[in-house]
């Protein structure tokens, strides 16, 4: 399947759709997931077109993972999370719903289940405050 430049993350990257931005480099952008599975659920996307892991430029992938590491550290600190889960889905059979490569960063706590994938939109004010809280821990 060819990369669709009208996917929602491509629109966010072009500034055509809003996002609660957490962090940014020349190569990648981190922002809050609007239908989080847990409080603090953050996404990191490369700025280059890539549908999934398989077609990503390895150099850009490396730059993106550096951003994942930086943001995961800030999320851990901001939410005082004992565990951080990183998820990355490739293809609809794996559950991918947005076809621009992205990494999920999710704080995890013993015994605290996370919500279903991409189901319930979060209060924008809450997302705004979470983004701010994470930025302060960068």
Binding region for ligand AMP (CB under 6 A) out of 30-38, 44-52, 67-75, 130-138: 30-38
- The answer to whether 56 contacts ligand AMP (rule: CB under 6 A) is no
Q: Which of 96, 108, 114, 137 binds ligand AMP (CB under 6 A)?
A: 96
Written as six digits, the tokens of 89 are: 């889905």
- Separation CA 49–CA 96 (nearest Å): 16
Q: 61: part of which helix (H) or strand (E)?
A: helix 58-79
- The answer to whether 137 contacts ligand AMP (rule: CB under 6 A) is no
- The answer to whether 35 contacts ligand AMP (rule: CB under 6 A) is yes
Q: Which of 3, 7, 8, 70 binds ligand AMP (CB under 6 A)?
A: 8
Strands (E), 25-99: 28-32, 42-46, 83-87
Strands (E), 28-82: 28-32, 42-46
- The answer to whether 78 contacts ligand AMP (rule: CB under 6 A) is no
- Separation CA 86–CA 109 (nearest Å): 14
- The answer to whether 85 contacts ligand AMP (rule: CB under 6 A) is no
**Residue ranges binding ligand AMP (CB under 6 A):** 8, 17, 19, 33-35, 43, 89, 95-98, 117-118
């Amino acid at each position: 399947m060819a990369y669709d430049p009208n996917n929602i993350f491509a629109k966010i990257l072009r500034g055509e759709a809003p996002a609660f931005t957490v962090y940014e480099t020349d190569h990648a952008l981190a922002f809050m997931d609007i239908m989080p599975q847990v409080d603090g659920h953050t996404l990191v996307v490369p700025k280059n077109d890539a549908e999934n892991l398989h077609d990503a430029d390895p150099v850009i992938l490396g730059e993106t993972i550096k951003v994942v590491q930086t943001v995961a550290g800030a999320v851990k600190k901001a939410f005082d999370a004992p565990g951080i889960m990183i998820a990355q889905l490739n293809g609809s059979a794996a559950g991918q719903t947005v076809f621009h490569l992205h990494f999920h960063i999710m704080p995890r706590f013993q015994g605290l289940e996370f919500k279903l994938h991409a189901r319930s939109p979060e209060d924008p004010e809450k997302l705004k405050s979470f983004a701010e809280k994470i930025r302060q821990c960068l």
